[in-house]
Structure 1
Amino acid sequence: MKIDIWSDVACPFCFIGKRHLEAALEKFPHRDKVEVNWHSFELDPGAKEDYEEDQYELLAQKYGMSREQAVANSERVAASGEQAGIRFNFDTVQPTNTFNAHRLIQLARQQGKQDAVEETLFSAYFTQGRHIGKQATLEAVAAETGLDTKGLFGTDAMVAEVRADEAQAQQLGIRGVPFFVFDMKYAISGAQPVNVFEQTLQKVWEENNPAPAADGDMCADGVCEPAK
Structure 2
Amino acid sequence: MRVEIWSDIACPWCYIGKARFEKGLAAFPHREQVEVVHRSFELDPTGPKGVTGSVTDMLAKKYGRTHEEARAMEQHVASNAHAEGLEFLAEGRDNGNTFDIHRLLHLAKARGRQNELLDLVYRANFAEERSVFDPEVLAGLAVEAGLDPGEARAVLADESAYTDDVRGDEREAAELGATGVPFFVLDRRYGISGGQPAEVFTRALEQAWQSRTVAPLATIGGAGAGAGVGCDADGVCGV
**TM-score, normalised relative to structure 2:** 0.84
C-alpha deviations, 1:57-82, integer Å up to 9, x for none? 11010111111111111111000000
Is 1:154 the counterpart of 2:184? The answer is no
**Which runs of structure 2 are paired with 1:97-116 in the superposition (5 Å)?**
97-116=97-116
- Cα deviation for residue 208 of structure 1 reads 2.6
Give a deviation string over 1:147-181, Cα, whole Å, max 9, x none.
13514122111111001111111111211000000
| Residue 28, structure 1, aligned to residue 28, structure 2 | yes
> Contact 2:124/2:132 (CA < 8 Å) preserved in 1?
yes
* Residue 86 (structure 1) shift: 0.9
| 1:50 matches 2:51 | yes
2:209 paired residue number: 205
Cα distance in 2 between the residues matched to 1:46 and 1:129: 25
Show CA shifts across 1:3-29 (max 9, x none). 001000111000110001110111111
- Alignment partner, residue 181 of structure 1: 185
Structure 1 unaligned blocks of 5 or more: 210-228
Contact 1:92–1:128, Cα closer than 8 Å, also in 2: no
- Check whether the contact 1:3–1:34 (CA below 8 A) recurs between aligned residues: yes
For structure 2, the 5+ residue unaligned runs are 214-239
1:63 counterpart residue number: 63
SS at 2:39 equivalent: strand
Over residues 13-51 of structure 1, what are the superposed CA-to-partner deviations in whole Å (9 max), with x where a residue is unaligned? 001100011101111111110000001000011223333
The CA RMSD measured in Å over matched residues stands at 1.3
CA contact (8 A) 2:104 2:156 kept: no
Contact (CA 8 Å) 1:16, 1:191: kept in 2 or not? yes
The 5-angstrom pairing of residues 113-192 of structure 1 reads: 113-148=113-148, 150=151, 151-155=154-158, 156-192=160-196
State the SS of the aligned residue for 1:13: helix
- Report the AA paired with residue 104 of structure 2: L
Q: Which structure is larger by alpha-carbon Rg, 1 or 2?
A: 1
Q: Amino acid of the residue matched to residue 153 of structure 1? A: L
Report the Cα distance in structure 2 between the residues aligned to 1:7 and 1:204, rounded to whole angstroms: 21
Q: Which runs of 4+ in 1 moved over 6 A?
A: none
Moved more, 177-186 or 122-131: 122-131
In the alignment, what sits opposite 1:212? none
- Check conservation: 2:74, 2:91, Cα contact below 8 A: no
